[in-house]
């Protein structure tokens, strides 16, 4: 009975992400015990720059800063599962969508007095632009059958240039303070708005998977394209749709990213976020070669990355040296989640059992 | 009927590798001749061509390594990070520790080998996805570069400066400048290293057992295994070669710029992947050619030069044109392959 439990546990996809979170928590608790003035789990209220009373603390920071990544992880999981490849252009398309949104909101002016269009129009334009970028990638992948990483390399190369071109390489600033609410706090609500946006996206995605066949079809296409076609699923359409959904996720992430600054920096905005988003999918234990997927695991993976970043910052790690430590943690995680090592581990525990039986 | 037969024979006679290679070379020459006709000036001078080589020697070497990994069905996005790490470590060794030039070369090779051993082991023997392994490798290399030294600086070591300023003149290829003085065309030592490596790898891929097994493993792992090829070892070697070449490329890059900085070779991995693809290597594995990769790098940098020569020097045009070219090549490849499949049927 116990043996079956262990095996089930070892093969559970959520084992690695949960272990990672527990280890990170323990590390933080030890750090708190050593440094008495630090408290990781404390959530305190303080007054921020705009004069609102808000919650603050490391946990809030993780939920706040991890939300873009969690939103992207939703789309990236679908793309990975359907096409067996990854979209490396999300950072660049965030720049494009953000730039288009600014262009609409500021109406081509660099320092406008009032908004040229309502915020919702700007956001809708960003959604359309994000979906167009997704459609372009999806077209190359599904119709022309180019490997996703290579197809998205095109927008990866051109994206930031196109973003700069949309606004004539100028950096417009949105005048309306309401626009900044999306990236910080709505007055009177002490929880960051980004948390609500991320939660809304996650709920929509969960409902979509629950009440439509999308999840099932995506897995079928990812596992075997030709046999899913024989079963009446259109693989081209499924792949295309997954890229469109990622495009929508990109637009929401762009809204948050641009709102945080009320402006944009074409070469820096969402830099390397594509790598983190792919990492989130992999940390969740999803196969990057497509097929079966678990969206919750990917979302958990996204928050783990932010958890790790926040923890490293607490240890006074320099921001430019951060990737080196991140790399070590990632390698440890993927080594333990690799099938070869798992098989070795489970056979080791089986041997122990056999030995015990022999003695008895 | 006869045209049908002819079409079939063209498409079926030429192998995938050669067909894509031919497309690349033809497009490169068309582009260069077009540049000479429409832009004249710079492009008609041989030195322009050699400058392209000088500036891209490191990219040629990394792209060759990338092609080998891609042919055997993997990917390595850590090369840009390795190049930056090598140039920073060599710069620190030469300038702050008073090391020798030979010692710095050993450091470059050592870093490349170390990355290759670890990444190759993780990919081949632990069966972890190459993208994730080399992503971690890239993070690690970029982070280590800033841990070694945060501030960018130029190397002042005399022996190194002498090596850096070495020029290899090419007889009979000079031009006379405006003052009437004859200026011979030259290349930097890094270009010689790059071209020797290209020749060497071409021979390895074409005529050695290891080289052929890269194609076999990339084409179909299962059938390679049936043929008695050690698949794990082959994948390991491909990553080892790629990272070692990235180490050498790091030194060549260092020799070209003569400084250490954490922002060196940013995005070089993507340029290397793009060059390999333009050169006819397929990411799915099993198809590719080193000579094509060389022409891929040349096409990529020629288009950059054409864009900046055309006066479109606003930074965004370079990105957009390269992407457009990449798109064109990809669609051509995809259409040609589809045609070929139809012809075979």
A82 burial level (CB within 10 Å; 0-12, 13-18, 19+) = buried
Question: What would the mean pLDDT of A24-53 be, rounded to a whole number?
Answer: 76
- Residues B85 and B299: beta-carbon distance below 8 Å: no
Token pair for A271: 């830099």
Tell me how many degrees the CA angle A241-A245-A248 measures, rounded to the nearest 5: 140
Which of B102-111, B139-148, B312-321 comes out lowest in average pLDDT?
B312-321
Most confidently predicted of A34-38, A42-46, B105-109? B105-109
Which of A112-126, A168-182, A329-343, B62-76 comes out lowest in average pLDDT?
A329-343
Given A153, A289, A321, which is nearest B326 (Cβ)? A153
What pLDDT is attached to residue B312? 60
In B, minimum Cα distance to A329 occurs at B136
The predicted model scores a pTM of 0.83
B95 vs B217: CA distance, rounded Å: 44
Give the pLDDT confidence of A317-327 residue by residue, as tens digits: 888 888 888 88
Q: Is the pLDDT of residue B13 over 70?
A: no
What pLDDT is attached to residue A3? 52
Token pair for A219: 């897995």
What pLDDT is attached to residue B174? 67
What pLDDT is attached to residue B66? 94
A130 vs B12: CA distance, rounded Å: 41
We find that the CATH architecture of domain A58-300 is Orthogonal Bundle (1.10)
Q: Which residue has the higher pLDDT, A94 or B101?
A: A94
* Interchain pair B75, A149: CB under 8 A: yes
Given A158, A340, A341, which is nearest B323 (Cβ)? A158
User: CB-based contact (8 Å) between B199 and chain A?
Assistant: no
Determine which helix (DSSP H) or strand (DSSP E) holds B176, and give its type and residue range. strand B168-176
B127: left (phi over 0), alpha (psi -120 to 50) or beta: left
What pLDDT is attached to residue B61? 95
Q: Which residue has the higher pLDDT, B55 or B2?
A: B55
Contacts of A150 in chain B (CB under 8 A): 273, 277, 283, 330
Would you list the domain boundaries of chain A?
Answer: 58-300
B268 vs B271: CA distance, rounded Å: 5
Which of A76-85, A98-107, B135-144, B155-164 comes out lowest in average pLDDT?
B155-164
A180 burial level (CB within 10 Å; 0-12, 13-18, 19+) = middle
Which of A337-346, B22-31, B219-228, B236-245 comes out lowest in average pLDDT?
A337-346
A280 vs A47: CA distance, rounded Å: 33
We find that the CATH architecture of domain B27-344 is Orthogonal Bundle (1.10)
A117: left (phi over 0), alpha (psi -120 to 50) or beta: beta
Question: What would the mean pLDDT of B227-244 be, rounded to a whole number?
Answer: 94
Give the pLDDT confidence of A77-95 residue by residue, as tens digits: 999 999 888 898 999 999 9
The per-residue pLDDT of chain A, averaged, comes to: 85
Q: Is the pLDDT of residue B95 over 70?
A: yes
What pLDDT is attached to residue B162? 85
Given B131, B143, B333, which is nearest A325 (Cβ)? B143
Would you list the domain boundaries of chain B?
Answer: 27-344
Token pair for B153: 């600086």
B208 vs B213: CA distance, rounded Å: 9
B325 vs B319: CA distance, rounded Å: 10
Contacts of B274 in chain A (CB under 8 A): 153, 157
What pLDDT is attached to residue B178? 67
Q: Is the pLDDT of residue A2 over 50?
A: no
* Interchain pair A340, B132: CB under 8 A: no
Contacts of A87 in chain B (CB under 8 A): none
Instruction: Point out which residues pair with B186 in neighbouring strands.
Output: B169
What pLDDT is attached to residue B1? 42
With CA atoms as reference, report the closest residue to A335 among B186, B125, B70, B197. Answer: B125
User: CB-based contact (8 Å) between A318 and chain B?
Assistant: yes
What pLDDT is attached to residue B231? 93
User: Which pLDDT band, with edges at 50, 70 and 90, does A8 fall under?
Assistant: low
User: CB-based contact (8 Å) between A154 and chain B?
Assistant: yes
B221 vs B242: CA distance, rounded Å: 20
């Amino acid at each position: 009975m116990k043996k079956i439990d262990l095996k089930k546990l070892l093969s559970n996809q959520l084992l690695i992400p949960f272990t990672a979170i527990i280890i990170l928590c323990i590390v933080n608790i030890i750090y708190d015990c050593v440094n008495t003035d630090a408290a990781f789990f404390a959530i305190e209220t303080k007054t921020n720059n705009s004069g609102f009373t808000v919650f603050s603390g490391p946990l809030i920071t993780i939920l706040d800063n991890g939300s873009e990544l969690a939103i992207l992880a939703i789309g990236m999981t679908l793309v990975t599962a359907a096409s067996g490849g990854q979209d490396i252009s999300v950072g660049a398309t965030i720049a494009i969508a953000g730039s288009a949104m600014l262009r609409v909101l500021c109406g081509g002016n660099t320092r406008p007095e009032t908004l040229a269009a309502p915020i919702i129009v700007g956001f809708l334009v960003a959604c359309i632009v994000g979906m167009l970028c997704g459609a372009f990638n999806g077209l190359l992948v599904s119709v022309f059958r180019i490997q996703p990483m290579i197809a998205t390399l095109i927008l990866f190369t051109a994206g930031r240039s196109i973003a700069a071109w949309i606004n004539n390489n100028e950096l417009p600033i949105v005048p309306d303070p309401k626009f900044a609410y999306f990236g910080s706090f709505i007055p009177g609500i002490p929880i960051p708005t980004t948390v609500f946006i991320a939660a809304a996206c996650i709920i929509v995605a969960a409902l979509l998977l629950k009440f439509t066949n999308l999840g099932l079809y995506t897995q079928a296409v990812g596992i075997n394209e030709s046999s899913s076609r024989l079963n009446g699923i259109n693989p081209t359409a499924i792949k295309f749709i997954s890229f469109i959904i990622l495009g929508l996720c990109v637009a929401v992430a762009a809204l948050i990213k641009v709102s945080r600054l009320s402006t944009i920096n074409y070469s820096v905005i969402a830099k390397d976020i594509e790598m983190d988003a792919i990492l989130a999918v992999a940390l969740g234990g999803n196969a990057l070669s497509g097929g079966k997927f678990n969206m919750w695991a990917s979302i958990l993976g996204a928050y783990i990355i932010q958890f790790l970043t926040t923890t490293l910052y607490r240890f006074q790690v320099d921001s430019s040296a951060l990737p080196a430590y991140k790399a070590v943690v990632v390698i440890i995680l993927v080594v333990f989640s690799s099938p070869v090592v798992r098989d070795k581990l489970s056979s080791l525990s089986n041997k122990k059992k056999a030995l015990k039986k022999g003695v008895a | 009927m006869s045209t049908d037969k002819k079409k079939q024979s063209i498409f079926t006679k030429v192998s995938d590798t050669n067909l894509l290679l031919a497309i690349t070379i033809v497009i490169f020459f068309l582009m260069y001749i077009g540049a000479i006709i429409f832009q004249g000036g710079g492009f008609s001078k041989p030195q322009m061509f050699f400058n392209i080589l000088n500036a891209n020697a490191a990219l040629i070497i990394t792209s060759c390594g990338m092609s080998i990994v891609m042919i055997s069905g993997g990917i390595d996005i850590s090369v840009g990070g390795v190049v930056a790490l090598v140039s920073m470590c060599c710069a620190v060794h030469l300038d702050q520790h008073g090391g020798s030039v030979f010692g710095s070369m050993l450091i470059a090779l050592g870093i490349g080998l170390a990355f290759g051993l670890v990444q190759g082991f993780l990919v081949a023997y632990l069966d972890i996805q190459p993208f994730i392994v080399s992503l971690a490798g890239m993070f690690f290399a970029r982070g280590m570069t800033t841990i070694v030294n945060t501030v960018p600086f130029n190397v002042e070591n005399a022996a190194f400066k002498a090596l850096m300023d070495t020029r290899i003149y090419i007889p009979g290829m000079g031009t006379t400048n405006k003052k009437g003085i004859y200026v011979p065309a030259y290349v930097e030592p890094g270009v010689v290293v790059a071209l020797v490596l290209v020749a060497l790898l071409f021979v390895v891929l074409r005529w050695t057992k290891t080289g052929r097994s890269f194609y076999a493993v990339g084409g179909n792992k299962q059938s390679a295994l049936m043929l008695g090829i050690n698949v794990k070892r082959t994948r390991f070697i491909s990553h080892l070669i790629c990272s070692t070449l990235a180490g050498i490329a790091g030194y060549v890059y260092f020799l070209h710029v003569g400084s250490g900085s954490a922002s060196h070779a940013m995005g070089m991995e993507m340029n290397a992947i793009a060059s390999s693809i333009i050169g006819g290597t397929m990411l799915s594995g099993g198809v590719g050619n080193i000579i094509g990769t060389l022409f891929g790098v040349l096409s990529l940098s020629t288009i950059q030069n054409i864009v900046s020569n055309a006066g479109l020097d606003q930074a965004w045009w370079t990105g957009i044109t390269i992407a457009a070219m990449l798109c064109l090549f990809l669609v051509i490849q995809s259409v040609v392959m589809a045609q070929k499949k139809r012809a075979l049927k």
